[in-house]
Structure 1
Amino acid sequence: MEVNSRKKKLISFNKIPKLFIFLILTYSFFRGTAISGFSMFSGLGMIDHFFSVCRYIGIALMLVRGAYYLLLGLKKGKVNVSIYLILLSLLLLLTTYSTWKSGVDMEQCISFVVNIAVAAFYFHWIILSKDTEELELFTISLNILQFVNLFTIILFYGGMEYANSSTVMGSVGDVYFLGYDNGLISFVLPTIVLNYYLLQIRGKNIYKLFNLICILQVVITLSVTGIIGLFLILVLMKSRNLYKMLSGKKAIVVSGILFIGLISMQLQKLFSILLNAYNIGLTLGGRTVIWGWALEYIKESPLIGYGYNIERAKTVFFWRIGVSGAHNQILDVLLHSGIVGLFLFLVIVAVPLGRLGKIYRHEHMKYQKLLIISISVYLVIMMVESYSAYSSYPLLFVLLEFAWDMKRRMSQNASIIIKA
């Protein structure tokens, strides 16, 4: 169906103030390194405080909106209950309880849990609103942040100088406006999916440019994890056979095999020549050593884990090199919420992948396939990265919410979707 030219305009002039508000709130929740954390901006601590205040305002707005939808549902005699949000809430509550039980400071855990909850619940309400305006404003805000990040990558290639060069990130470099280069893929993947979705339902070619900007960030930084992720997406989108073999629920099995193979060192031995050629080695840049340390602590509290606390991870779990995560998302989930939490996490991922597969086989919309592949790729690259350590981690739950509610979103936009 043809979309009229006026609708192809990215955003009308009278919506710019609203976009500005969205941009501030989006950055407040998903910002990487603090602005004052860089040497050249070390005196701008007040700006970081401003965005912290904006984050609290955003939380308050979310609570107000949640109360509005609850009252509206009660008035109509039908309260919308999302199984996804119930399962996610259980996972977040378990992480909070585990943190409290371990006796550490709760501030970081609460911030971590709230950011995920806000991202998931807010995106759920965007879907309930039956309007793509807020979705577009949110997505454009994500793209603007990545355009700024691309600018910092080009201007300060190799990483911006930290105000405190003695920190781990300050010593290794590769840190930009949105954080460490290997973490960019967790910001890029959800944005690419949302861009592609809006391209298909709105026909605005600017979203193609936005996706190019997303991809350029990863390529220019030469992030091995990010480049592998983008390569897998390209291959799975183009190859029907590989898509059937490696994506959807099968991606969970593939990730499980990778997890066992990497932990046991068997996969590294198979590819030892290639790893050594790229100076990565059998330890995958020291990751296997960190995994060993993580496993030591997981064995002590396997059922519900230790909870979430970055400072403890730096000073107790992985104090030897100062990293704040286990460099493997499965191990991170086990550390945060144990076997129970990992079960909830896998259910949250597996159910929408199964649903999406059925929907795609019926509808054959390319953005559905891209969503399936992106979640599948997340699972694969999570084997060598701890994405819960990055500020963009809540965006994974935006993707999952999008996947869980795909059927509802499809019916709302059935009259304007452009088939590829």
Structure 2
Amino acid sequence: MGKGITYPVGFYANGINCGIKSNGKEDLVLIYSPSPCIASGTFTTNQFKSYSVLWSIKNIKNEIKAILINSGNANACNGQENWELTVKLIEELALKLKIDKNSILFASTGIIGERLPYEKIINGFDRLIENLSPKNNILAAKGIMTTDTFPKEYQINTGISGRKKEVYIGGMAKGAGMINPNMATMLCFITTDAVIDKKALDFALKEAVDESFNMITVDNDTSTNDTVIILANGLARNKTIHLDSPEFEIFCNSLKKLCIELAKKIASDGEGASKLIEVNVNGGWCKKDVRRVAKKVCGSLLVKTAISGANPNWGRIVAAIGSTNARIDMKNIEIKICGITVFKGKPVEYEKDKLIQLMKNKEIKIEIDLKRGNFSATAYGCDLTEDYVRINKEYS
């Protein structure tokens, strides 16, 4: 048994270098289940979707056996002929795997506007397939990276009993820049051996994504390629999970935890980031209000730069809150930075030197109480450093 994407039983993975990346690092990944899977996915809201995304949207309703992923090339905004190459590529893989082409999903990440490296990819298929293994999860996690500095994996035992085993969920993700999902390039692939119906899986994934990947922001840009896909092969042989099953809430909570942990890894690995920012907003009038406020504060460039410099400039947080159209009243708002109250309807005295020291830590928590209701939300992000500018000046 592997970890991450191959933690649930019956999933195999591999990652190789097929020549897209000139540095020899993994750039082609395959996730495979001999048993057909129910699939669910959420995809970028960008109007100029990658051809890889369009292929997956077209086929996500089918029973799925494989996901192909390449890194180093976005397969986006590169002309109609690349749609034809996409189809040919999938057809070639289907022949190699002896499965239907419509049971394969496709995802890409990398530079926009370049021709899909069709020949390099198909020439790598034999090596990719030959070494599929439950033990190659880390090669797969590395193979989806672009400007990421470390592979991102997580796995969880739901505790739901099946005839064969307990239900497991595993996943891997990538994303360092262009992260402002609804979604953004943010890729995440999740597997589970649960027996679960399609409606329940769709609902569980949407809830998990809304609380995790759609609550992270690195640079406020939305990619052409964002993708989150979950596959369920049913090999745990548990009683089928429906929307009204007692196990459904357990499955949802486990999936949500996995997605939040992966989202935090993505946020902490933002391009040039030195600190993870977590913004907790409580006391909102509605869910939409608290999500707006949390993401606005987390995504504020002024807040990000203040945190980078360990500068407790709470005025930037207040300004970010006020720039939303959430139902708020400044005289009710309370703000804490690293556990220290800095604002309570008006400025309050606090130990500034102590707070500056706390803000030098790698994880910074901002707590905001709107005192208007009972809703809460959490957003994740990172600070903004000089390295972010350098990385994006050099990336091409």
Task: Check whether TM > 0.5.
Answer: no
TM-score by length of 2: 0.27
* Higher share in strand: 2
